[in-house]
Amino acid sequence: MNERQRARRPGGRSARVGAEVHQAVTDLISERGYGNFTVGEVAARAGVADSSIYRRWGSLANLLTDVALTRLNARSPMPDTGSLAGDLRTYAANVAREITGPDGLAVVRLAVALSSMGQQGVQARDDLLAERTRQLQSMLDRARERGEHAPDAFAVLDHIMAPMYIRVLLGIGPLTPEYVDGLVDRLL
């Protein structure tokens, strides 16, 4: 077991440190915005050494992405309703609720910030996208295994997620249930 695996075991001190670091990042984003704080400031806020953060996450970009992914997975999990239409409608409704909430532009802000953070930022952004795409693909694969005709994951991104994000970004609203369901129906 190497250092990184040991640091990630569930429970105990490692879990407490993880939670404290995540909370420090969430607070600093809220107070200053993405890109306006350092690993040292996160460490000081969380009461841990800088080296603990670098050992566990490798970079500020990875840490920001881990915090965002944890939040996304908790608040917008991929549903499993038994039908593709049900899954996509539930997922789209969850995303619509999240992105019209108080910190709705969080993912957009994060993506913009990471794209200004050089190669580490780009890699972290790619990792985040890959993980969420993998989860979405599992949902679509389940539909195919049931014999349903499923779009590919990028079509879901292009024609369900993207319109909702751009409407929130440009202040075109509200995202009514009829509008959100309409995006799903149009794709299917």
Query: Which of 14, 73, 17 is CA-nearest to residue 46?
Result: 17
Closer residue to a copy of itself, CB minimum distance, 21 or 76? 76
* Beta strand ranges found along the chain (DSSP E): none
Inter-residue contact 70 to 109 (CB < 8 Å): no
The C-alpha angle 132, 65, 104, rounded to 5 degrees, equals 75
Inter-residue contact 98 to 76 (CB < 8 Å): yes
Q: In the complex, what is the shortest distance from the CB of residue 125 to a copy of itself, in angstroms, rounded to a whole number?
A: 6
Closer residue to a copy of itself, CB minimum distance, 30 or 81? 30
Closer residue to a copy of itself, CB minimum distance, 44 or 130? 130
Closer residue to a copy of itself, CB minimum distance, 97 or 167? 167
Closer residue to a copy of itself, CB minimum distance, 63 or 110? 110
Q: In the complex, what is the shortest distance from the CB of residue 51 to a copy of itself, in angstroms, rounded to a whole number?
A: 30
Q: In the complex, what is the shortest distance from the CB of residue 34 to a copy of itself, in angstroms, rounded to a whole number?
A: 10
Give the containing element (helix H, strand E) for 132. Answer: helix 118-145
Q: What is the DSSP string of 161-177?
A: IHHHHHHHHTT-----H
Q: In the complex, what is the shortest distance from the CB of residue 36 to a copy of itself, in angstroms, rounded to a whole number?
A: 9
Query: Over the range 175-187, which residues count as b (16 or more CB within 10 Å of their CB) and which as e?
Result: beeeebeebbeee
Q: In the complex, what is the shortest distance from the CB of residue 162 to a copy of itself, in angstroms, rounded to a whole number?
A: 4
Inter-residue contact 7 to 14 (CB < 8 Å): yes
Enumerate binding residues for a copy of itself (CB under 8 A): 33, 105, 108-109, 111-112, 115-116, 122, 125-126, 129, 154, 157-159, 161-163, 165-167, 169-172, 183
